[in-house]
Chain A
């Protein structure tokens, strides 16, 4: 059963993009996969279309960024892998209601939330899918423990030095005795280190600078990628490069279907949803997709503006009561949105048969738009939703 993940805007090939993919694939396999009946090594296709997105001749130098005038002697570069990981964590923490960067204090306020954020911070810096899967398996045990024990007594006396150790000891059960810790502790402590380093209050550090830069550039690149796509998506006979890239992966995934394991799942983030919708309704109507999950997407908004090639101004004839029919080559469609995410939209009011799924990241503005796939709890809740008919 193959999965195709179509990314959204603002993705460009870099260490950060590749780490994101490793972490996401690990979480998809370990948490979402079982809900879909996915075999552990089922292929996951992640077509990268960012190279065909908007190009900025002056590298977005029009964006005001006063920090660029300052020279930093040392420190973590914002463009390096660890700097990018800290930046992602900074994005997650930007407007969190509870996270202070002190894991013990945060756990006393909201233990399950602290556990989720801790694992998100750890997964943000994984260097292999195996590491991500290891963390994902550990997360499921820790999350179950946090739900069953929302106020564990040991948190009261824990220190930042031994919080992770006690969490892992309490939540993880092994059937063999190991004369060591098993590696997970170091990954989680790296996550803790990122939480501390990503404190938005530390405005002079790399994370803070990255976050401000990210806010500006994300809006700019969203508009740029959307305009570029609309201008260059091509025709059915001659698809544009973005459409061709995504269609190529869909074709490969489609070919992986086997008798008894023949489901095709497509997950699309942000503008990836619009691309997939355009493909399924115009470019390649022959693809039969068993489940489409759009996350933080604007498919409904673009249909409201009638911007798809298959859009018809007269359909439905009776808005806002009426709905556009769900594409016939799509069996199930779940749309995930967060009211804090200004770039995510509902879909139920526009397309018939879609199920809107509200996911509260706890963050606001642009921090939440990129946050879905960083938080392990998102995968857990998505898996639960996918299990429901």
Chain B
């Protein structure tokens, strides 16, 4: 099944999610069907089915267990969720309507799901659309995303993919509200495709220049920059980008408008948070074999239409360290909020990690046994999503 959840909300805006995860590519390297003549060096992926599961679980969480962290937007509540995924084994999702097996993400399946999603999305001028993709991607003139059956036809080797760049431009002329794109795919330039005339895959929607741009807001966050790779830990784990996306949406970004009552997560705040969280992950795992830093790329246009409206202030991931490291065990690392709340790590030879509400803090290190001078930063602003600092013990 593709449509996992839908509520009849005639006359009021809602949020409509279309999520696609492709890990099983039968015609690419390691697949169980005839190998494509031009597989572009692409292999089977274990992360996308797991990543899409994590994302869907996050969206459904408050509906399944009220009060848990997940999608919240009183102005545009979750109105529909459609999803497709390709994996060697069926992928089951727990929805408010029960457990559902996801349909395969073939090119035709994606097209059908997209067409239906677009119809729902156009149903109200204030609707918000979310299009998530996790799987293989390549770049030539535009950014192309690969469906499960990519490489099926020997004479049309690249037909079962779609052009997301043009799709985004086309949707700007169709959807009056806001659309958020989260594209967790590589953007490596394919020489083979580049030297083949008219090899470009089609968009999901043709770009009609006779139509004017009507969208109020568009946010496209790509897992990586043009020409670069996106990564996931091996062994069927959530990808770096999707981890950062879910983390960002789970209370690590958002701004409160003047006089407002909620902390709003709009395109700019979520884009910034994802980029910083990816950098934070690189900081926490310096021996990542992907080496090349994965830096997300963003397109944010139009006036803000928040994806989420949160009731509480966003948090900050604090990472305090002390240099030189051999003095760490002699120190107490601490943060003291403007409200007088103090948190500390006492004389432990490790990095101090803690999550705190945003705000102003005194950040410092003291050596209770003496011997070393204190290190104090009096007015540090902790801004979501991260605050990494290495305190320098002198001399």
Contact = CB atoms under 8 A, between A and B. Distances in A.
A159 interface: yes
A162 B157 CA distance: 12
B40 A179 contact: no
Q: Do most interface residues of chain A lie in helix, strand or loop, or is the interface mixed?
A: mixed
B135 interface: yes
Nearest to A159: B37
Contact of B41 (A164, A175, A176, A177): A164
Contacts of B41: 164-165, 168-169, 181-182, 184-185
Contact of A162 (B38, B138, B223, B231): B38
Give the most central of B30, B35, B289: most A CB within 10 Å.
Answer: B35
B232 A162 contact: no
Contacts of B137: 179-180
Nearest to A164: B41
Contact of A179 (B191, B231, B288): B231
A337 B253 CA distance: 66
A182 B239 CA distance: 17
| Chain A interface size range | 20 to 34
A312 to B, nearest CB: 56
B42 to A, nearest CB: 6
B292 to A, nearest CB: 9
A118 to B, nearest CB: 14
A189 interface: yes
A126 to B, nearest CB: 14
B290 A178 contact: yes
B337 to A, nearest CB: 38
Q: Do most interface residues of chain B lie in helix, strand or loop, or is the interface mixed?
A: loop
Contacts, number: 91
Interface string A236-251: 0000000000000000
Contacts of B47: 177, 179
B135 A177 contact: no
A166 interface: yes
A224 B38 CA distance: 48
Contacts of B231: 176-179
B56 to A, nearest CB: 19
A189 B192 CA distance: 8
Nearest to B37: A161
Contacts of B192: 186, 189
Given A165-B29, A169-B29, A189-B191, A179 B230 contact: yes
Interface string A141-175: 00000000000000001010110111011000011
B196 to A, nearest CB: 11
A190 interface: yes
A175 B191 contact: no
A183 interface: yes
Interface stretch (B182-190, B313-321, B328-336): B182-190
Contacts of B135: 179
Given A165-B29, A180-B138, A190-B191, A175 B234 contact: yes
A174 B234 CA distance: 9
B229 interface: yes
Contacts of A182: 41, 188, 229
B191 A186 contact: yes
A169 B190 CA distance: 17
A157 to B, nearest CB: 8
Contacts of A157: 35
B39 A179 contact: no
A177 B234 contact: yes
Give the most central of A174, A184, A186, A190: most B CB within 10 Å.
Answer: A186
30 contacts: A159-B37, A161-B37, A161-B157, A162-B37, A162-B38, A164-B41, A165-B29, A165-B41, A169-B29, A169-B30, A176-B233, A176-B234, A176-B288, A176-B289, A177-B46, A177-B239, A178-B186, A179-B45, A179-B134, A179-B135, A180-B136, A180-B185, A180-B186, A180-B188, A181-B188, A182-B188, A185-B41, A186-B190, A186-B192, A189-B191
Given A189-B191, A189-B192, 14 more contacts: A159-B37, A162-B38, A164-B41, A165-B29, A165-B40, A169-B29, A169-B41, A175-B234, A177-B233, A178-B186, A180-B187, A182-B41, A182-B229, A186-B190
Which 10 residue pairs across A and B have the least CB separation, nearest first? A180-B186, A181-B41, A185-B41, A186-B191, A161-B37, A180-B188, A175-B289, A179-B186, A169-B29, A177-B232
Interface of A: 157, 159, 161-162, 164-166, 168-169, 174-186, 189-190
